[in-house]
């Protein structure tokens, strides 16, 4: 091949390459041009959606935010390949159109990812758009890290997010819009990312949307969450809804037609239509109530929305209720009046269930245009109805107040903190009344003690009981809607450890935990002084080093725990003398330690050469304290392997011990108490003596005042000058109980104090 031909072929290849490159550039240019047009088109739709809320100068601010966002995200693309700017515009569109937010929120939505994803800083935002926009963007940036990294960082981020939320509710409204658009475009993510984001959505964001009254957004978030966490169920329900749609439409038409005619005759301006239940709510009914799809009667609800003046709203809703129930028989147990007592998220509506055609129950929702907008758009719609919604806005303020209180003393455990916060997102609630008739909303299953803390922290801390509808009830009594509650208090009362199990609200839990910490700290202060005296008595220098070494010697978690136990009388001179000996001759204690070592119950039950291993599931067996002898730490105990109840711990002198040890020795394992935590255990004592004046008062003084022991119950019986008493107390171990018995024996008139072996 000649050189000329070679050159020509090389030129042709080069020409083709150049042509291909130029074609690609032209195509790219066309695509870029098309994208620019699409971006502008989406921006115009945003302005159109927000037009009715815009005031003078607002359009210019939104345009500026749009341009800043376009420039900041110009090199970025989403997983789908689309320009990233599509996302902030879509979030702003949801804020304007579906939530009904104003200019500040639209600006923040357009800029919400700039600080996190680009070189822009909060100070840049503040310089261009002011303090308020910067504050909201800062809150939005902090939320993004809530579910990532370690739990301690998670807790801190969650706290910061809530702090911003409590200052400006728009933070969470914009975040919900952001999450909704992410859920709508989740198809392009990897499966593990889809599961993570969908799980977060169902765990926190959907309940938040519900709590803020964003019903439409809450339902869509739940449906999309189900789509990515349980696709088979989602598709199955969608398919069944499609298949049954023609029958459903026909039924709705037959139900609505006669009502249409009557309401028109009565002169009402209204809309009436069938509204399908969300896929997620159908899924919940199938899963939790065990009802097949075919047997769910409320796949839809009939909604009647009337146009009526504010002063006639309530009366007209009840008029329509009367018309409907004249035509269709109502179920008296299914009337829900959310007009007289709106839900704490602002929801107002009148619900009834009536027997429709073909013998099927149908839910009917009656509301006004204002109520409907509040139900669908939540608190964002309240700005439109500011005067009428004043009461509901105060409900939001109450909720935000609770969040602020939680933030004052948040639980250091991230998951507990988030769970406590979620208690404030309750979907079911009750309404109870004070003696003066003031109404309070509480979560379903709230107790009298929850109500006490809802009134005031001091009332909660000093609560000794309650009267519900004029009848005395315990602190743990579960309230019901309509209950009138009077709290009984005493200045001598203080929060107890078991109170935590009596309450469900985050506020009450937080306040009880704080009070217990403070009480424990005060007791520990007394113990510190007491320990110093005991050290000097044993000729041991009271230094930080010696205290820390003593903590290690007793295998306690902290010096605070040591001081606390000392105050309760659980650290005596004998142990300090042993510690002094240990410091002088540590080698003696090594051999002792080996002799006294007892295998820990669960870890050594498997694979130990001198013990029988029963099945592979042995390590999964739980411990349980046997009720026949109620062992407490310090008692000599053994474990007995049961077939169905795991390992039961018995005292060596238990009434059943002989039988168990002789007949079933192969099922007995060695056991010892863990010394790491000081927990309260219930124990019973019997007291006998002569009936002296003020005896009961002297006994309770020793228990409560001198030894800081909590009593669960106390009962005394006297006959012919002799008394017989039973007291149930919470103690930490056998030494604690022994100390109590010794002190009670010193009370004048007491002749015997014994532990109850079987309670």
**Per-residue pLDDT, 350:** 92
Of the pLDDT bands very low, low, confident and very high (cuts 50, 70, 90), residue 757 is: low
Q: E-assigned strands of 434-584?
A: 439-443, 463-468, 471-473, 485-489
Pick 517 or 203 by higher pLDDT.
517
For every residue of 287-308, DSSP letters joined together read HHH---GGG-S-SEEEEEEE--
Pick 411 or 744 by higher pLDDT.
744
Pick 506 or 415 by higher pLDDT.
506
**Per-residue pLDDT, 552:** 80
Of the pLDDT bands very low, low, confident and very high (cuts 50, 70, 90), residue 610 is: very low
The mean per-residue pLDDT over the stretch 682-704 comes to 80
**Per-residue pLDDT, 367:** 93
The mean per-residue pLDDT over the stretch 123-130 comes to 87
Enumerate the β-bridge partners of residue 637.
651
The mean per-residue pLDDT over the stretch 287-302 comes to 77
Residue 156 pLDDT exceeds 60: no
**Per-residue pLDDT, 27:** 45
The mean per-residue pLDDT over the stretch 490-501 comes to 86
Residue 409 pLDDT exceeds 60: no
Which among 169, 167, 116, 122 is positioned nearest to 144, based on CA atoms?
A: 116
**Per-residue pLDDT, 153:** 44
Residue 284 pLDDT exceeds 70: yes
191 Cβ partners below 8 Å, 6+ apart? none
Residue 745 pLDDT exceeds 80: yes
For the stretch 421-457, pLDDT in tens is 555 554 467 778 888 877 787 888 889 999 999 888 8
Average pLDDT of the chain is 76
Considering Cα of 629, then 632, then 634, then 637, what sign does the dihedral take? positive
Of the pLDDT bands very low, low, confident and very high (cuts 50, 70, 90), residue 593 is: very low
| Residue keyed to tokens 């306040």 | 511
Q: Please tell me which of 120-124, 176-180, 341-345 the model is most confident about, judged by mean pLDDT.
A: 176-180
Of the pLDDT bands very low, low, confident and very high (cuts 50, 70, 90), residue 11 is: low
3-class SS of residue 696: helix
Q: What is the pTM of this model?
A: 0.56
Lowest-pLDDT range of 4-13, 70-79, 570-579, 730-739: 4-13
Considering Cα of 12, then 14, then 18, then 23, what sign does the dihedral take? positive
Pick 590 or 737 by higher pLDDT.
737
Write the burial class of residue 277 (CB in 10 Å: 0-12 exposed, 13-18 middle, 19+ buried).
Answer: middle
CA dihedral (267, 270, 272, 276) in degrees, to 10, reads -160
Catalytic residue numbers, as ranges = 116-117
Please give the span between the terminal C-alpha atoms of the chain, in angstroms, as a whole number: 109
**Per-residue pLDDT, 91:** 92
For the stretch 236-283, pLDDT in tens is 889 988 888 888 888 888 888 888 888 888 888 989 988 888 889 888
Domains of the chain by range and CATH? 36-229 (1.10.3210.10), 232-388 (3.30.460.10), 515-596 (no CATH), 598-620+634-673 (no CATH), 681-755 (3.30.70.260)
For the stretch 314-352, pLDDT in tens is 999 999 999 998 888 888 888 888 888 887 667 889 999
**Per-residue pLDDT, 666:** 53
d(CA 391, CA 342): 10
**Per-residue pLDDT, 533:** 84
272 and 302 Cβ atoms separated by less than 8 Å: yes
**Per-residue pLDDT, 303:** 92
166 and 139 Cβ atoms separated by less than 8 Å: no
517-538 burial by CB neighbour count: b if 16+ within 10 A, else e? eeebeebbeebbeebeebbeee
Residue 390 pLDDT exceeds 50: no
CB atoms within 10 A of CB 223: 20
The mean per-residue pLDDT over the stretch 585-590 comes to 66
d(CA 651, CA 639): 9
Of the pLDDT bands very low, low, confident and very high (cuts 50, 70, 90), residue 6 is: low
d(CA 207, CA 214): 10
Q: Which two tokens stand for residue 184?
A: 């709508």
For the stretch 480-489, pLDDT in tens is 888 889 999 8
Tell me which H or E stretch contains 726.
strand 722-731
Of the pLDDT bands very low, low, confident and very high (cuts 50, 70, 90), residue 707 is: low
The mean per-residue pLDDT over the stretch 97-121 comes to 84
For the stretch 636-684, pLDDT in tens is 777 777 755 667 777 766 767 655 654 455 566 666 665 545 566 678 8
For the stretch 350-365, pLDDT in tens is 999 888 887 788 889 9
For the stretch 615-634, pLDDT in tens is 333 344 455 777 777 776 66
Q: Which two tokens stand for residue 384?
A: 């439109």
Report how far Cα 193 is from the mean position of its chain's Cα atoms.
23
Of the chain, the percentage scoring pLDDT greater than 90 comes to 8
Which among 403, 537, 447, 383 is positioned nearest to 53, based on CA atoms?
A: 383
Sheet holding 336-337, edge to edge: 270-276, 300-306, 361-368, 350-355, 336-337
207 and 427 Cβ atoms separated by less than 8 Å: yes
For the stretch 192-242, pLDDT in tens is 778 778 877 887 788 878 877 788 889 999 999 889 888 888 898 899 888
**Per-residue pLDDT, 142:** 64
420 and 509 Cβ atoms separated by less than 8 Å: yes
């Amino acid at each position: 091949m000649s050189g000329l031909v070679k050159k020509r072929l090389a030129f042709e290849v080069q020409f083709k390459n150049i042509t291909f490159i130029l074609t690609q550039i032209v195509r790219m240019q066309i695509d870029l041009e098309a994208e620019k047009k699409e971006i502008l088109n989406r921006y115009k739709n945003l302005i159109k959606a927000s037009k009715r809320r815009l005031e003078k100068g607002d359009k210019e601010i939104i345009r500026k935010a749009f341009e800043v966002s376009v420039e900041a995200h110009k090199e970025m693309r989403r997983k789908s390949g689309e320009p990233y700017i599509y996302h902030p515009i879509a979030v702003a569109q949801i804020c304007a159109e579906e939530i009904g937010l104003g200019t500040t929120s639209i600006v923040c939505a357009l800029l919400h990812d700039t600080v996190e994803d680009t070189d822009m800083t909060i100070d840049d935002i503040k310089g261009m758009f002011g303090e308020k926009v910067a504050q909201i963007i800062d809150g939005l940036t902090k939320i993004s890290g809530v579910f990532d990294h370690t739990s301690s960082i998670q807790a801190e981020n969650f706290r910061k997010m809530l702090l911003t939320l409590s200052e400006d509710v728009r933070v969470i409204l914009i975040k919900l819009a952001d999450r909704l658009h992410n859920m709508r475009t989740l198809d392009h993510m990897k499966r593990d990312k889809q599961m993570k984001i969908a799980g977060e959505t169902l765990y926190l964001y959907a309940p938040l949307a519900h709590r803020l009254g964003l019903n439409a957004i809450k339902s869509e978030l739940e449906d999309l969450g189900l789509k990515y966490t349980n696709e088979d169920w989602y598709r199955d329900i969608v398919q069944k809804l499609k298949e049954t749609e023609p029958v459903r439409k026909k039924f709705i038409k037959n139900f609505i037609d006669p009502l249409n005619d009557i309401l028109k005759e009565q002169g009402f301006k209204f809309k009436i239509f069938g509204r399908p239940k969300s896929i997620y709510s159908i899924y919940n009914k199938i899963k939790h109530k065990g009802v097949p799809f075919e047997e769910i009667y409320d796949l839809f609800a009939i909604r009647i929305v009337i146009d009526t003046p504010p002063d006639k709203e309530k009366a007209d809703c009840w008029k329509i209720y009367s018309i409907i129930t004249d035509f269709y028989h109502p179920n008296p147990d299914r009337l829900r009046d959310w007009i007289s007592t709106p839900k704490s998220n602002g929801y107002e509506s009148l619900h009834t269930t009536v027997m429709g055609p073909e013998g099927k129950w149908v839910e009917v929702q009656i509301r006004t245009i204002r109520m409907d907008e509040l139900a669908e758009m939540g608190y964002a719609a309240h700005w439109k109805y500011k005067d009428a919604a004043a009461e509901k806005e105060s409900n939001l303020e109450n909720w935000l107040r609770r969040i602020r209180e939680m933030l004052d003393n948040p639980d250091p455990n991230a998951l507990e903190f988030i769970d406590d916060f979620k208690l404030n997102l309750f979907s079911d609630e009750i309404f109870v009344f004070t003696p003066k008739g003031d109404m309070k909303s509480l979560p379903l299953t709230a107790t009298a003690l929850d109500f006490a803390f809802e009134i005031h922290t001091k009332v909660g801390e000093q609560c000794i009981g309650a009267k519900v509808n004029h009848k005395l009830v315990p602190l743990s009594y579960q309230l019901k809607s309509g209950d009138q509650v009077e709290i009984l208090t005493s200045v001598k009362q203080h929060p107890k450890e078991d109170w935590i199990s009596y309450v469900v609200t985050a506020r009450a839990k937080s306040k009880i935990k704080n009070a217990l910490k403070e009480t424990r700290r005060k007791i520990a202060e007394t113990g510190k002084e007491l320990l110093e005296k005991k050290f000097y008595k044993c000729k041991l220098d009271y230094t930080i080093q010696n205290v820390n070494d003593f903590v290690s010697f007793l295998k306690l978690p902290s010096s605070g725990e040591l001081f606390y136990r000392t105050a309760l009388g659980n650290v005596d001179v004998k142990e300090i003398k042993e510690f002094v000996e240990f410091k002088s001759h540590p080698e003696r204690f090594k051999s002792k330690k080996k002799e006294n070592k007892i295998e820990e119950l669960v870890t050594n039950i498997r694979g130990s050469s001198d013990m029988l291993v029963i099945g592979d599931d042995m390590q999964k067996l739980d411990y349980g304290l046997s009720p026949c002898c109620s062992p407490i730490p310090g008692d000599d105990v053994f474990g007995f392997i049961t077939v169905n109840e795991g390992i039961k711990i018995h005292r060596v002198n238990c009434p059943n011990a002989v039988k168990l040890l002789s007949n079933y020795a192969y099922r007995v394992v060695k056991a010892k108490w863990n010394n790491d935590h000081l927990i309260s255990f219930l124990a019973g004592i019997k007291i006998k003596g002569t009936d002296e004046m003020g005896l009961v008062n002297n006994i309770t003084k020793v228990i409560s005042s001198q030894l800081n022991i909590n009593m669960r119950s106390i009962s005394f019986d006297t006959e012919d000058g002799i008394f017989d008493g039973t007291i149930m107390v919470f103690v930490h171990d056998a030494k604690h109980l022994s100390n109590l018995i010794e002190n009670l024996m010193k009370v004048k008139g007491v002749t015997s104090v014994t532990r109850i072996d079987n309670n």
